[in-house]
Amino acid sequence: MSSVQKIAHHIRNKRYSAQEVVSHYLEMIERYDVSMNSVTRFLKDRALYAATKVDALIAEGKDPGPLVGVPFGVKDLFDVKGEVTTAGSKLLSQNNPANQDAKVIQRLCAAGAIPVATLNMDEFAYGFVTDNEHHGMTHNPHDFSRFAGGSSGGSAASVGGGILSFSLGSDTNGSIRVPASFCGVWGIRPTYGVLPMQGVYPFAESFDRIGPFCQSIEDLKTVFNVMAEVTTNTSFPSISSLRIGQLAGWFERDVDQDILDAIQEIVRCFSKQGKIDLPHIEQVRAASYLMTASEGGKLHLPNLRTKPMEYDPATRERLMAGALLPVSSYLKAKEIQFWFQQYLDNIFKEYDLLIAPAVGSIAPQIDNPVVFVDGKPVSARVNLGIYTQPFSMSHCPVLSVPIHRDGKLPIGLQLIAKPHQEQLLFAVGSLLEKNGIAKATIIQRNKVL
């Protein structure tokens, strides 16, 4: 695998030119993405032009930035200058091209990174499987018969599939955490307000977050810090002295034993630990589902009234249902959200971190699209987020931790911290990666790097 830092190092030291690296990654995408279907559009002309500028700066003895020449992809709801932001839809495909990049893309490009492709997603980010009526299904890079997860499936699959070293996605109810787990990569849902949403097409604005997918925790930290404009290093006490709470009850039901075992292995790294059975978690999850449906439905209501047939039927039905929800139901759900946030505030007086599964099993098979809730089979498309949705009701940052298993498909966990504690999550993730407990599962490609 070629890390973000390794690519930047080689370009900065003139082992390879940025043009060589970008051309190589474009060729890899063309060759290997046929089976995964993670990419919706190539940004070839822009990418090669940007690479020539990077090479020129290096030739002049200048440093283009910490991500010098690193190719990356973006979920197709980020504005890319000169491209139409479709959010995976037919409805928006006739809109005018964006006149500037999304704010986080501007920051990444200023640090030397080069966008090379837009990536597949569930239409309007409403789903957990990346089954797009217009662009097709994105397949899991480790088993093409299984889901990549969603709605940022193209972003996760491209990194897990080894054709990009990092990508951007969004997370409303688990759209970073679910596909990161199924595709075996690192991801993060940041604290509310830490990353700018300017130039990102919304789903449910009070829930939406954006974040990167990466092949290693150090890459994740590097890319995130550029996106968040973090310039200082934060020191922490010994990780082993931190207090970790293992979420039980709801977060143990319908969860494969391998995932529970992985949680236990991580918990044992900490000297102070405990089990927590969060009360009313079913209601919290239901409130999250209701609020996002309502916000999304209200956003799309004008087009649902005038252009309903331009929506994917599965998306249309759920958005319509959300638009019809009474305000009183939304306000009741909002009360549950406020209670849950207050409850978590009290929990974090006793614990520094919480740990929970991100998914209950390996990725489901495409021809058997079900997961289990209370032992009963239900639709995977709308229920894969049962363990991620509750924490979308908080302002907490959540790290998606990949667990590699030789000969088996990857799984993933959630590490949850207090708001604005992303650097703590990176420090813990680094310890887990160094100890071999957490590791990305990346398809190895024929690379020049």
The C-alpha angle 40, 319, 307, rounded to 5 degrees, equals: 75
Query: What percent of the chain is predicted at pLDDT more than 70?
Result: 98
pLDDT at 373 over 90: no
* Phi, psi dihedrals of residue 296, rounded to the nearest 5°: -65, -45
pLDDT (0 to 100) of residue 262: 98
Phi, psi of 72 (to 5 degrees): -150, 165
Q: Which residues of 53-75 are buried (b: 16+ CB within 10 A; e: fewer)?
A: ebbebbeeeeebbbbbbbbbbbb
Give the integer Cα–Cα distance in Å for 421 and 419.
6
78 vs 106: CA distance, rounded Å? 11
pLDDT of 234 higher than 80: no
What are the tokens at 179?
A: 């596909």
**Cα 119 to Cα 77: distance, rounded to the nearest angstrom:** 9
pLDDT at 314 over 70: yes
Q: Indicate the pLDDT class of residue 260, thresholds 50, 70 and 90.
A: very high
CA 272 to chain CA mean position, Å: 29
Q: Across the chain, how many H-helices and E-strands are there? A: 14, 17
3-state DSSP helix/strand/coil % of the chain, to nearest 5: 40, 20, 40
CATH architecture of the domain with range 4-228: Alpha-Beta Complex (3.90)
The first and second tokens of residue 330, run together, are 């939304």
401 vs 241: which has the higher pLDDT: 401
The pLDDT tens digits for 18-64 are: 999 999 999 999 999 999 999 999 999 999 999 999 999 999 999 99
pLDDT at 237 exceeding the cut of 70: no
75 is catalytic: yes
As a whole number of angstroms, the distance between CA 440 and CA 409 comes to 11
Region 359-372 average pLDDT: 95
CA distances from 191 to 84, 199, 418 (A): 28, 18, 8
Q: Is 434 part of the annotated catalytic residue set? A: no
Q: What local confidence, expressed as pLDDT, does residue 341 receive?
A: 98
Task: Tell me the per-residue pLDDT of 422-446, one tens digit each, with 9 for 90 and over.
Answer: 999 999 999 999 999 999 999 998 6
For residue 232, what pLDDT is reported?
74
Determine the Cα–Cα distance for residues 377 and 381; give it in Å rounded to an integer. 12
State the CATH architecture for 239-422.
Alpha-Beta Complex (3.90)
The whole-number average pLDDT for the span 280-300 is: 97
Active-site annotation holder among 155, 175, 392, 394: 175
Exactly one of 17, 38, 151, 294 is catalytic; name it. 151
Using pLDDT thresholds of 50, 70 and 90, give the confidence band for residue 449. low
Same fold for the pair 4-228 and 239-422 = yes
Among 2, 17, 23, 75, the active-site one is 75
- C-beta separation of 2 from 24 below 8 A: no
pLDDT at 403 over 70: yes
Nearest to 381 by CA among 127, 123, 139: 127
- Comparing CA positions, the residue from 373, 388, 404 lying closest to residue 179 is 388
Q: Which residue has the higher pLDDT, 87 or 449?
A: 87
Q: Is 328 exposed, middle or buried (0-12, 13-18, 19+ CB in 10 A)?
A: exposed
Q: Is residue 275 among the annotated active site residues? A: no
Structural domain spans, the chain: 4-228, 239-422
